[in-house]
Amino acid sequence: MNIGWIGTGVMGLSIASHIQNNGYQLFVSNRTKEKAASLLDRGAVWCKTPAELANNADIVFTMVGFPRDVEEVYMGDSGILSSAGCKCRTVVDMSTTQPSLSEKIAVKAKQLGISALDAPVSGGDIGAREARLVIMVGGDKKTFEDVMPLFKLMGTRITLMGKPGAGQHAKMCNQILVAGAIISVCEAMLYAVKSGLNTEDVIDLLEKGAAASWTLSNLAPRIFKNDFKSGFFVEHFVKDMGIILKEAESMGICLPGLSLVNQLYIGVRSQGMGRFGTQSLYLALKRISGMD
């Protein structure tokens, strides 16, 4: 079976590598060919456009940054679902994007006789490297079952959440929780430093109590190693929160906590840290507190 992959960023490269390492012939397309170099060196085939890739692969996976990128990859003149790129049988978008866009892709794909899944993930760069992602899927059950052997190469918890777009709605729930967790961790670590506590002891202690979380265990240690590289870009988190707030407005629900975190991260981005990891909120709070 030939597999197509578009999007070799922080997470996409690791996930595509798992597929390649399990014996599948991989076809790759990106805006930047150099980012796929490690896959190409091990036998992946380069395609100049998403349409060309879709003409060579049975199943196409995408994992790109913003909704405009998703739309271009699928609906653009040289997109997967353009007239020149309709030979694949299944498309799986693993980007985090608007639920309505996932529904639009599914409708267009169905018109071309192609099955579509939306399958955003949680677990960050570590989960991607270690194939321990949580994968939230929207689409029909048969297609989900057909793709399951590939999903199992990427993650440990894979769940069909419902119709097209349902995977994206589940990811929005995930991001609301992440927003609450990251601001709590950054504020707690700032408090620990200011009060003179040993941060390693604090993290070790809190990991064993009611405050334990993935964010505490994985991002707090990075803060104190001065590691603000991205497992998940600030600019992508701002994008996700913007999608959620628009969806919430259309549903008539109020998310004041998320609105606050969103405004704080817009500030982080404005300070030139859009390509930093989400733990960089700590730096912004530290500056506000006069602790630089």
Say whether both 78 and 94 belong to one domain: yes
Q: Looking at the structure, do residues 243 and 183 belong to the same domain, yes or no?
A: yes
Predicted confidence pLDDT, tens digits, the chain (292 residues): 999 999 998 899 999 999 999 999 999 999 889 999 999 999 999 999 999 999 999 999 999 989 999 999 999 999 999 865 578 999 999 999 999 999 999 999 999 999 999 999 999 888 999 999 999 999 999 999 999 999 999 999 999 999 999 999 999 999 999 999 999 999 999 999 999 999 999 999 999 999 999 999 999 999 999 999 877 899 999 999 999 999 999 999 999 999 999 999 999 999 999 999 999 999 999 999 998 7
147 shares a domain with 8: yes
The dihedral built from the CA positions of residue 276, 278, 283 and 287, taken in this order, carries a sign that is positive
Identify whether residues 135 and 45 lie together within a single domain. Answer: yes
32-58 pLDDT per residue, tens: 899 999 999 999 999 999 999 999 999
> Do 115 and 181 sit in the same domain of this protein?
no
Among 164, 182, 202, which residue terminates a domain?
A: 164
138 and 6 co-located in one domain: yes
The confidence score (pLDDT) of residue 259 equals 97
Domain with residue 175: its CATH number is 1.10.1040.10
**Element containing residue 61 per DSSP (H, E):** strand 59-62
Task: State the pTM of this model.
Answer: 0.93
**Does residue 152 sit in the same domain as residue 103?**
yes
Given this model, what pLDDT does residue 20 score?
97
pLDDT of residue 83: 67
- Answer yes or no: do 200 and 215 share one domain: yes
Q: Give the contacts of 254 (CB within 8 A, at least 6 positions apart).
A: 248
If DSSP codes are grouped into helix, strand and coil, which group holds residue 6?
strand
Judge if 174 and 125 occupy the same domain.
Answer: no
Contact of 130 with 99, CB cutoff 8 Å:
no
Q: What's the CATH number where 132 sits?
A: 3.40.50.720
| 147 and 188 together in one domain | no
CB-side neighbour CA atoms (13 Å) of 151 = 23
Q: What is the DSSP string of 100-157?
A: HHHHHHHHHHHHTT-EEEE--EESHHHHHHTT-EEEEEES-HHHHHHHHHHHTTTEEE
Which among 164, 184, 217 is the end of a domain? 164
Query: What does the alpha-carbon distance between residue 257 and residue 20 come to, in Å, rounded to a whole number?
Result: 41
Query: Which amino acids are annotated catalytic?
Result: 171
Count how many domains the chain has. Answer: 2
> Could you tell me if 15 and 105 lie in one domain?
yes
Of 164, 182, 204, at which residue does a domain stop?
Answer: 164
d(CA 33, CA 128): 21
Residues 247, 267, single domain; the answer is: yes
Instruction: List the domain range (segments joined by +) for residue 205.
Output: 169-288
